Amino acid sequence: MLTNILALLFVVMATAQQAATNNTKVILITLDGLRWQELFSGADQLLVGNSEYVNDTTALKEQYWKETPTARRKALMPFFWTEVAEMGQIHGNRNLGSKVDLTNQMWFSYPGYNEILTGKADDARITSNDKIPNMNTTILEVANTTAKYKGKVAAFGSWDVFPYIINEERSGVPVNAGFELVTGNDLTEREKFLNELQPKVPSPWGTVRLDAFTHYYALEYMKKNHPVLVYISYGETDDFAHDGDYAAYLTAANNTDALIAALWDFSQNDPFYKDNTLFIITTDHGRGTDPLHTWRDHGNKVKNAGGVWMVLFGKGVPSKGEVKTPEQLYSNQIAPTILNILNLEIDPKKMKGKLMNLKM
Ligand SMILES: [Zn+2]
């Protein structure tokens, strides 16, 4: 009799726990090619006053140069280094032994996003940034093909290759990326205005739009449709770095920090997302440091460009702040960890990454 009651109690508790976990919403965010060096130390001493990469070094230094790395990073990314440092976890400060690495050996965007979104590097098949529909299955697709999450998944990207990386056609996941407008019969006033504005604000690049468009399209969609799993990919940091414009690269990092702060504020003011949303933020690759000009570049010929970082906060994330003890995380752990949080099955053949233990 007692064992029966205990067994019943166990079932009730397990179900209650599962129901609680099932409620979690996930917002996965990437900042293309933002170096861990700037995230953890702010403006780079060798670049911030370097007239080869900065037009107005005095103005840039005034804005972002401080005596200590902790003051510099706070000036650059104030949301990350005040609120997130208090409530979440910031992994990847290699100066302290906290390492986050890619497992793919390519160190550029498509392989990086494939690894983050599918949980497995695919260096045999993903060898370029070409617009080839991904043969691998992303977690967005895994979720969207279940009855529970169908229609509750969405992706927004500044780079026009995302419809291919996510394989929009096969997965059925709505992807708004590149210079796409939003379509539908129920557009909000803001969506209509974004559609009007986007073609009238020329992007500096042919394949990447400015991040504000990606951000506000995502935000409007979230207000309207309340997706459970959202992926937002910001791109400015990478493109300004390729351009060799260090001031614009820092401005983009600072801007994206504010956009993420706004997403967090939105989530805390929307009953659907409030207190049950997990934020995971990372990057698709690092960049070089030595020789100095390699800060502009990445790819496997650039030394150490496989070093990345990871930031977590929100539902189920114990506060650890900046991780200051040696650890080794990999980008391929993000996908299975998200599936696990959403109570979706993980196929170990398709996903190499181990689940992250956020409590450790
Ligand atoms: Zn790049």
12 has a pLDDT exceeding 80: no
CA 129 to centroid of ligand 1, rounded, Å: 10
Percent of the chain with pLDDT over 90: 91
CA 114 to centroid of ligand 1, rounded, Å: 15
CB atoms within 10 A of CB 251: 18
The reported pLDDT for the residue numbered 19 is 47
- The CA–CA distances, whole Å, from 158 to 162, 234, 259 equal 8, 6, 14
CA 110 to centroid of ligand 1, rounded, Å: 10
CA 72 to centroid of ligand 1, rounded, Å: 24
CA 241 to centroid of ligand 1, rounded, Å: 8
CA 23 to centroid of ligand 1, rounded, Å: 36
pLDDT tens-digit readout, 140-190: 999 999 999 999 999 999 999 999 999 999 999 999 999 999 999 999 999
CA 30 to centroid of ligand 1, rounded, Å: 13
CA 249 to centroid of ligand 1, rounded, Å: 12
- Which strands sit side by side in the sheet containing 327-330, from one edge to the other? 307-308, 98-101, 327-330
The reported pLDDT for the residue numbered 141 is 98
Burial of 270 (0-12, 13-18, 19+ CB in 10 A): middle
pLDDT, mean over the chain: 94
Q: Which two tokens stand for residue 60?
A: 């840039």
Per-residue confidence band for 22, with pLDDT thresholds at 50, 70 and 90: low
- Looking up tokens 């801007």 gives 255
The reported pLDDT for the residue numbered 20 is 47
15 has a pLDDT exceeding 50: no
359 has a pLDDT exceeding 90: no
Burial of 223 (0-12, 13-18, 19+ CB in 10 A): middle
CA 109 to centroid of ligand 1, rounded, Å: 6
CA 67 to centroid of ligand 1, rounded, Å: 30
CA 344 to centroid of ligand 1, rounded, Å: 32
CA 305 to centroid of ligand 1, rounded, Å: 11
The reported pLDDT for the residue numbered 352 is 87
CA 298 to centroid of ligand 1, rounded, Å: 6
The conformation of residue 259, written as its DSSP 8-state character, comes to H
Q: Which two tokens stand for residue 25?
A: 């919403």
CA 262 to centroid of ligand 1, rounded, Å: 26
CA 61 to centroid of ligand 1, rounded, Å: 25
- The CA–CA distances, whole Å, from 326 to 98, 321, 337 equal 5, 14, 21
Contacts for 115 with CB less than 8 Å, ≥ 6 apart: 102, 103, 104, 121, 122, 331, 332
143, 342 contact by CB (below 8 A): yes
CA 33 to centroid of ligand 1, rounded, Å: 6
Percent of the chain with pLDDT over 70: 94
Mean pLDDT along residues 70-79: 98
CA 237 to centroid of ligand 1, rounded, Å: 9
CA 91 to centroid of ligand 1, rounded, Å: 22
114, 353 contact by CB (below 8 A): no
pLDDT tens-digit readout, 93-148: 999 999 999 999 999 999 999 999 999 999 999 999 999 999 999 999 999 999 99
Mean pLDDT along residues 61-81: 98
CA 287 to centroid of ligand 1, rounded, Å: 9
The reported pLDDT for the residue numbered 84 is 98
The reported pLDDT for the residue numbered 122 is 98
Closest by CA to 100, choosing from 252, 287, 290, 326, is 326
- Output the 3-class SS for 272-326: CCCCCEEEEEECCCCCCCCCHHHHHCCCCCCCCCCEECEEEEECCCCCCEECCCC
